[in-house]
Structures are given as structure tokens and as C-alpha cells.
């Protein structure tokens, strides 16, 4: 099978997709990064390879906070930031889309597009309230599986008001409401509304949100949050089929663009990479007062890339 | 000789150092801002103060370790909190029982004249002071000119890091320059050596204007070397805020502010402190000059810049220019900034591809 590989290495999850040449998603994986991105990607790719031994990769793209590391490891044709990747994927699926809401593990963003071009974007800056990690944490505190969280919120008849400004305050407010005797579904529905309010006031502040609106990222699985968005924005919110791997789809698309639909050969290192040993280590350069933290990246003990330096001193020859 | 330290802000130190020597005081160079400087400042400063207070407090503490007896700090007449930071730092250092005297220079001729006499330890004639200041000003201008060329060349050189290295080298040489002739010579030589790195084959350079709060804009450490990062992405950075420009404007009152005030007026008609009105006005001017985008840099909790930030989306829409606002504090991470500016540059590039096709 010939096709493209997209890898999105995020803080919480690592997502890998394999698409055919028509960019239909044939396989997608959602793995917990657990602080070891190299390991997560190797595990994921091994799973994919086990399923289909004659995958032929025409191009690879990486995105997410680990994009440079993993890009060097797999030999990516295209290393892109997650905003561009998400926007590309959203407008590929629906060329009309004008607003992308994305909530992932530790960040949330809004992207505005007009005629398929990103015209504005914003990311959460100093606050992680309302991202996936917080929802995860609250679900486990209440003993509710995260998958059931949204459905439970939809059952609520009378959502309570939760202070969503900050995740610490939100948690104490939730505990307060629970001790007052409110039932769990009302509290959860209140939390969903509070998180959406917080998102729209922080990330979405001053942004002109127009339809069609798509909602992607891991949190889009939560129907409670989706409903809260629809109530707050008074528009229909579309959740695409592959909502949780849209970043990976975006960088697969960008990789295809980079290799000109397969005319240019890919830099992909091949699945032999799964048996190789990759090692990243860092040191502080003492050549000047900048004290750059330089990263050494080794493949089977051989140095293949270095980054983090602000001068050419540590360039790999 | 009095041992005098001063806080770190961009290349200000080079001029202040030679000024102090000429005045007959012993300058104590601040250690370059490091994680330790930040930690010292953050530990001892109020949490909701903005970065300049914390970083400069860290500078003071490190300089005291190096034996400084006097600490120079800029004052101000608001309405920005910075004007009061010198006093706040004085109190904090007293609480920490640090034995150093804080000298706060207010932006008026009398305060400046008095402080300089005090540092000299006796009477300095106005004529002598004028000569010393003129010399320091020459240095400052030469540095700023080299920096402008560096901004131009980063996106146009084969290796942008090479440009940074050469620029740093000439900063060091200018630091040691002891005469006006030598400054002139070094400036000419530096410009020539930098120009050698120009690669005429580079065509599509993106132009981005930088606006915002002066400390955040001028001190590369706190804004995570954003200008170098942009340069590596093929962006030529434009900005009006340079040290020499600030001195001409605020101390010598020789800058005509009407252009940015007029441009800002339909959006923000009042001086709200700090560089708030300049940020808005300059963003409008950059849009009309045809730049591709504007980036606003400001420290977290900065009031004037927060006001400007909430006005900039309107500027962006009416003047048809993408604007990105970035706020920084001691928690700001390299990765977050990198992602945002990469996405911003992508946005600009894809936008211009579209306009070429249309």
C-alpha cells in the first residue's frame, strides 16, 4: 500500500495516521506520549507495520511540540507547527470552513480561515484551564470514565454555574457544589459551560467567529463541551470523523505537497528505524554568555542532528 | 572611585559603561541575564509585577555580589508602573539588608545633572558633561545602526547565525572603543563586513514590524531572541524603538511624535502610559507602509500594552494587516513562542501566495 504518514507528537498523546494517495485515512493511532516521545512513535509505527508489512511511504510530516525531535528521527519531509497543520486538515475536509476550535491535552487554539487561508489564530497563553488534562483529572476525581463525561453532561436539566476562570478555583467550586447536594450531571454540565466560557473569553477574545465551525482535538470527543459551544455561539458545531488526529492528517497533507504528490523521493528512513536506538541528550555550551542548551541527537550511537545553539559552532558537518 | 552598577537592557550597557568611565566612576558590568538572574528576581519581587522589575532586581543582586556600591535605575513619570520600580527595588534591597545605594534617574535634566554630579563625587561642568554624553550617544547610535543592518541581513544571508556572530564581534569592539574616530571607523568597517554576508539570490523576504513595550522589545533574553528566530525564518524585522531613538524622544525631546499619534488617534486618542499609544499608532503606520505583518511584544500584566492589545484586532481588520500579540513572563517557554511565530509567518506567506494568484 502506498501513501503518506502524518505524526503529531503532542504533550499528552502521539497521533499517527497513514493515508492513501487520495488522502483517505486508512489507519490512525492515538497513543499516550507518557513523556517519552521517541518510544511512543516507535511503538505506534511498529503497530502499523505489524498490521500491514508492505506499507510504502511516499512522504512523512511531523507536527506538535515534539515535531523537531521526531522529524529528525523518522526523516520527515515536512516539519510544521500545529496551527498550520490543523488549519490545512480542516480546510482539506471542508474547504468552506471559517473557524476551527481545537482543544488538546495541554493547549487550546482558535484558527480563523477565509477562503482556505489562515487569517488569524490564537493559543492559550498562561492558563491550561479547559484543556484535556484538566477534564481528565476531574473525571477521575469523580470516578467517571472520561468517555462517559460528555453524555452525562447532556443528561443535565439544570446546569449549575461553576467558576471556570482557573482550574484550581474550578475544582474547589465543583467540590463546593457537590457538597451542597447538586447532582453530578448538573455539575459536569456546569463545568462544560464554564470551560467553554473560559475558552471564548481567553483564546477566542475579540475573534470574529463565523460558520462553518469545526471542533477538533481530543476534547471534541466530549459531547457536553460540543453542546456548550453550540449554546454559547448559537451556531452548529461540526466534529469531523477523525477529530482527534486532525493535526497528523494536516502534516500528512503538507508532506504530500512537499514531495509533489510522490514525484520527489521522500527523506523517510524506512521501517528499519524501528530497530534502531535513538538517544537525545543535552549540554550547556560555555563558549559565550548565551549558555545555549544544545541537544545532541544520536542514531545507533552516531550523531545525526543537533539543535538549540544560536551560533554555527555546533553544526553537524 | 564609586563602584556603580546598572541594569541590563539590550545594548544599553555598552554606552552606560563608557559614560561612567568618562565621568570618573568605576562601572560594574551586570552579569549577562541568565536563569539565575531571573530566579533571584522572581524570588524577591512581587509576583504580579512585570518582567522588567524582576529581571532588573536580579541584575542588582548579582551586581552587589560583584561589589557594586551604587545601583543606577531609570525612573519615570507614568502612567506606567515602571517609574516606581526603582523605589520598589530600593525597599526590597533594604529588606534583604543589602548594602548598596540606589540612584534613580528621573527623566528631567535637573535630576540627570544632579545624579551625574553625585556619581562623579563633585562638580562636573555642564560643558564636560555635554561632551561625555555626546560621546556615549555616538556609541549608542553606531550600535543601533549596526543592529538595523543586522535585521536587514539575517533573512538575506546564507547562514543567519553568521550575521549574529559578526554583529556580536563588532559590539565587543565598540565596547572598547575610546574615541569618536575609533567609533566611526568601527561602524564603517562593521557595516562593510556585515554587508559581505548579503546573498543577492534571496528574493522573497517577509517584512514584519515589531511594536510593544520598550524593555520587552530591546532585551532579547526576555523575548527569547525573537528577532533572531524571525530572521532565520526569512523575516526582515522593522522597528522604531531603538535606544538612541528613546533618548532623543524622552530626554532630548527631539522626536516629532505627531506621525504615530495621528495614526493612532482614530483608535486610541490618548496617551495611556508606557508605549501603549505608540504600539497602536506604529501598527497602523506599518500597515500603511505595506509591511506584511506586525508583532506586539509586551510583559505579562503590562497595563498600557493590554489596552493596546484589545484595540489591535480592530486595527488588523480595518488596516488589513495580520497582527500577533505575544506576552511574556518568567514562565514563557521557547516552544510556545516558536510555534506561534512559525504559524504567523506561514499565515503571511500563504496569504501573499494567494494574492499573487488572484
Instruction: Tell me the average pLDDT across A179-189.
Output: 84
Domain boundary among B124, B148, B175: B124
Give yes or no: residues B69 and B22 share one domain.
Answer: yes
Give yes or no: residues B116 and B259 share one domain.
Answer: no
CB atoms within 10 A of CB B306: 15
Give B338's contacts in chain A (Cβ within 8 Å).
Answer: 81
Domain boundary among B102, B124, B146: B124
Give yes or no: residues B158 and B276 share one domain.
Answer: no
Q: What is the pLDDT of residue B74?
A: 87
Interface size, chain A vs chain B, as Cβ–Cβ contacts under 8 Å: 70
| CATH code of B87's domain | 3.40.50
Give yes or no: residues B27 and B146 share one domain.
Answer: no
ipTM associated with this complex: 0.78
Candidates B327, B346, B351, B357: best to mutate against A (most CBs of A within 10 A) is: B346
CA atoms within 13 A on the CB side of B338: 15
- Express each pLDDT in A49-69 by its tens digit: 888 778 888 889 999 888 888
pLDDT level of residue A201 (50, 70, 90 thresholds): confident
Give yes or no: residues A158 and A291 share one domain.
Answer: no
Give yes or no: residues B169 and B317 share one domain.
Answer: no
* Domain total in chain B: 3
Domain boundary among B75, B97, B124: B124
Instruction: Give the residue from A215, A208, A267 showing the smallest Cα distance to A61.
Output: A267
Give yes or no: residues A283 and A267 share one domain.
Answer: no
Give yes or no: residues A43 and A137 share one domain.
Answer: no
The shortest C-alpha distance from B139 to chain A (Å) reads 22
- Express each pLDDT in B260-274 by its tens digit: 999 999 999 998 888
Give yes or no: residues B193 and B215 share one domain.
Answer: no
Q: Domain containing B193: what range?
A: 130-202
Give yes or no: residues B31 and B161 share one domain.
Answer: no
| CATH code of B284's domain | 3.40.50.11900
C-alpha torsion sign, points B325, B331, B335, B336: negative
Instruction: Lowest mean pLDDT of A200-214, B62-76, B150-164, name the range.
Output: A200-214
Give yes or no: residues A218 and A103 share one domain.
Answer: yes
Q: Contact B335/A65, CB-based, under 8 Å?
A: yes
Give yes or no: residues B173 and B226 share one domain.
Answer: no
Q: Contact B354/A115, CB-based, under 8 Å?
A: yes
| Shortest CA distance from A107: residue in chain B | B336
- Express each pLDDT in B200-245 by its tens digit: 888 889 999 999 999 999 999 999 999 999 999 999 999 999 988 8
Q: Contact A121/B343, CB-based, under 8 Å?
A: yes
CB of A312 within 8 Å of a chain B CB? The answer is yes
Instruction: Tell me the average pLDDT across B325-338.
Output: 83
Q: Is pLDDT of A315 > 70?
A: yes
The shortest C-alpha distance from B163 to chain A (Å) reads 9
Give yes or no: residues A14 and A69 share one domain.
Answer: yes
Give yes or no: residues B233 and B355 share one domain.
Answer: yes
Euclidean distance between CA atoms B348 and B358, whole angstroms: 15
Give yes or no: residues A216 and A266 share one domain.
Answer: no
Give A312's contacts in chain B (Cβ within 8 Å).
Answer: 159, 161-162, 165
Instruction: Give the residue from B53, B3, B35, B1 showing the smallest Cα distance to B213.
Output: B53
- Express each pLDDT in A127-154 by its tens digit: 655 677 788 888 888 888 887 888 888 8
Give yes or no: residues A123 and A234 share one domain.
Answer: yes
β-pairing, B323-328 vs B293-299, is: parallel
Q: Contact A290/B32, CB-based, under 8 Å?
A: yes
Would you say A108 and A80 are in contact if contact means Cβ atoms under 8 Å apart?
A: no
Q: What is the pLDDT of residue B329?
A: 85
pLDDT level of residue B358 (50, 70, 90 thresholds): very low
Q: Domain containing A166: what range?
A: 95-239
Give yes or no: residues A121 and A44 share one domain.
Answer: no
Give yes or no: residues B182 and B234 share one domain.
Answer: no
Domain boundary among A239, A266, A288: A239
Give yes or no: residues B187 and B176 share one domain.
Answer: yes
C-alpha torsion sign, points A222, A226, A231, A232: positive
Give yes or no: residues B74 and B136 share one domain.
Answer: no
Nearest by CB to A310, which of B225, B313, B347?
B225
Q: Contact B162/A312, CB-based, under 8 Å?
A: yes
Give yes or no: residues A73 and A190 share one domain.
Answer: no
Give yes or no: residues A78 and A108 share one domain.
Answer: no
- Express each pLDDT in A272-281 by its tens digit: 888 888 888 8
Candidates A206, A247, A287: best to mutate against B (most CBs of B within 10 A) is: A206
pLDDT level of residue B357 (50, 70, 90 thresholds): very low
Angstrom CA distances, A235 to A156, A196, A206, A209, B48, stand at 21, 14, 17, 10, 38
| CATH code of A270's domain | 3.30.420.40
* Domain total in chain A: 3
Give B335's contacts in chain A (Cβ within 8 Å).
Answer: 65
Q: Is pLDDT of A157 > 70?
A: yes
Nearest by CB to B350, which of A81, A118, A289?
A118
Amino acid at each position: 500500500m502506498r501513501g503518506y504518514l502524518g505524526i503529531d507528537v503532542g504533550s499528552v498523546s502521539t497521533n499517527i495516521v497513514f493515508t492513501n494517495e487520495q488522502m483517505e485515512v486508512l489507519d490512525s493511532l492515538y497513543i499516550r506520549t507518557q513523556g517519552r516521545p521517541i518510544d511512543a512513535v516507535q511503538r505506534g509505527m511498529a503497530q502499523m507495520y505489524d498490521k500491514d508489512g508492505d506499507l510504502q511511504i511516499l512522504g512523512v510530516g511531523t507536527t506538535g511540540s515534539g515535531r523537531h525531535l521526531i522529524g529528525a528521527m523518522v526523516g520527515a519531509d515536512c516539519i510544521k507547527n500545529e496551527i498550520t497543520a490543523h488549519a490545512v486538515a480542516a480546510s482539506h475536509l471542508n474547504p468552506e470552513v471559517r473557524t476551527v476550535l481545537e482543544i488538546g491535552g495541554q493547549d487550546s487554539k482558535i484558527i480563523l480561515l477565509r477562503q482556505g487561508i489562515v487569517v488569524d489564530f490564537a493559543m492559550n497563553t498562561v492558563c491550561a484551564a479547559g484543556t484535556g488534562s484538566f477534564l481528565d483529572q476531574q473525571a477521575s476525581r469523580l470516578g467517571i470514565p472520561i468517555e462517559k463525561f460528555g453524555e452525562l453532561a447532556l443528561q443535565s436539566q439544570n446546569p449549575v454555574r461553576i467558576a471556570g476562570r482557573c482550574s484550581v478555583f474550578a475544582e474547589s467550586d465543583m467540590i463546593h457544589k457537590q457538597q451542597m447536594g447538586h447532582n453530578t450531571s448538573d455539575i459536569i454540565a456546569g463545568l462544560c459551560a464554564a470551560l467553554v466560557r473560559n475558552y471564548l473569553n481567553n483564546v477566542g477574545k475579540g475573534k470574529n467567529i463565523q460558520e462553518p465551525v469545526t471542533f477538533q482535538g481530543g476534547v471534541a470527543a466530549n459531547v457536553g463541551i460540543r453542546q456548550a459551544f453550540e449554546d454559547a455561539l448559537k451556531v452548529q458545531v461540526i466534529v469531523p470523523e477523525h477529530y482527534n488526529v486532525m493535526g497528523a492528517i494536516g502534516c500528512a497533507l503538507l508532506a504530500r505537497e512537499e514531495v509533489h504528490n510522490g514525484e520527489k523521493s521522500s527523506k523517510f528512513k524506512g521501517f528499519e528505524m524501528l530497530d534502531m536506538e535513538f538517544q537525545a541528550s543535552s549540554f550547556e555550551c560555555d563558549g559565550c554568555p548565551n549558555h545555549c542548551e544544545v541537544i545532541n541527537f544520536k542514531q545507533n550511537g552516531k550523531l545525526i542532528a543537533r539543535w538549540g545553539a544560536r551560533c554555527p559552532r555546533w553544526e553537524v558537518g | 572611585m564609586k563602584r556603580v552598577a546598572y541594569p541590563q537592557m539590550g545594548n544599553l550597557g555598552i554606552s552606560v559603561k563608557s559614560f561612567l568611565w568618562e565621568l570618573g566612576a568605576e562601572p560594574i558590568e551586570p552579569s549577562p541575564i541568565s536563569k539565575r538572574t531571573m530566579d533571584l528576581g522572581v524570588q524577591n519581587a512581587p509576583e504580579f509585577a512585570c518582567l522588567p522589575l524582576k529581571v532588573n532586581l536580579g541584575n542588582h543582586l548579582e551586581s552587589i555580589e560583584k561589589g557594586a556600591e551604587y545601583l543606577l535605575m531609570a525612573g519615570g513619570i507614568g502612567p506606567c508602573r515602571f517609574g516606581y520600580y526603582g523605589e520598589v527595588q530600593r525597599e526590597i534591597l533594604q529588606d534583604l539588608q543589602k548594602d548598596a545605594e540606589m540612584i534613580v534617574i528621573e527623566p528631567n535634566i535637573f535630576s540627570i545633572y544632579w545624579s551625574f554630579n553625585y556619581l562623579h563625587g563633585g562638580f562636573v561642568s555642564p560643558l564636560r558633561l555635554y561632551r561625555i554624553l555626546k560621546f556615549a550617544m555616538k556609541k549608542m547610535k553606531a550600535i543601533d545602526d549596526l543592529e538595523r543592518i543586522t535585521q536587514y541581513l539575517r533573512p538575506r544571508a546564507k547562514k543567519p547565525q553568521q550575521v549574529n556572530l559578526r554583529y556580536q564581534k563588532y559590539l565587543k569592539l565598540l565596547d572598547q572603543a575610546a574615541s569618536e574616530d575609533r567609533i566611526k571607523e568601527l561602524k564603517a568597517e562593521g557595516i562593510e563586513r556585515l554587508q559581505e554576508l548579503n546573498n543577492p539570490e534571496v528574493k522573497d523576504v517577509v517584512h514584519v514590524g515589531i511594536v510593544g513595550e520598550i524593555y520587552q522589545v530591546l532585551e532579547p533574553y526576555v523575548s527569547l531572541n525573537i528577532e533572531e528566530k524571525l530572521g532565520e525564518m526569512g523575516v526582515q524585522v522593522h522597528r522604531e524603538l531603538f535606544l538612541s531613538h528613546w533618548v532623543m524622544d524622552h530626554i532630548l525631546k527631539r522626536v516629532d511624535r505627531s506621525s504615530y499619534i495621528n495614526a493612532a488617534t482614530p483608535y486610541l486618542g490618548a496617551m495611556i502610559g508606557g508605549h501603549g499609544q505608540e504600539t497602536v499608532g506604529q501598527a497602523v503606520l506599518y500597515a500603511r507602509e505595506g509591511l506584511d505583518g506586525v508583532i506586539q511584544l509586551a510583559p505579562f500584566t503590562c497595563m498600557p500594552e493590554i489596552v493596546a492589545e484589545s484595540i489591535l484586532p480592530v486595527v488588523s481588520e480595518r488596516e488589513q494587516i495580520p497582527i500577533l500579540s505575544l506576552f511574556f513572563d518568567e514562565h514563557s517557554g521557547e516552544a510556545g513562542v516558536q510555534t506561534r511565530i512559525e504559524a504567523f509567518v506561514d499565515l503571511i506567506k500563504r496569504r501573499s501566495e494567494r494574492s499573487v494568484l488572484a
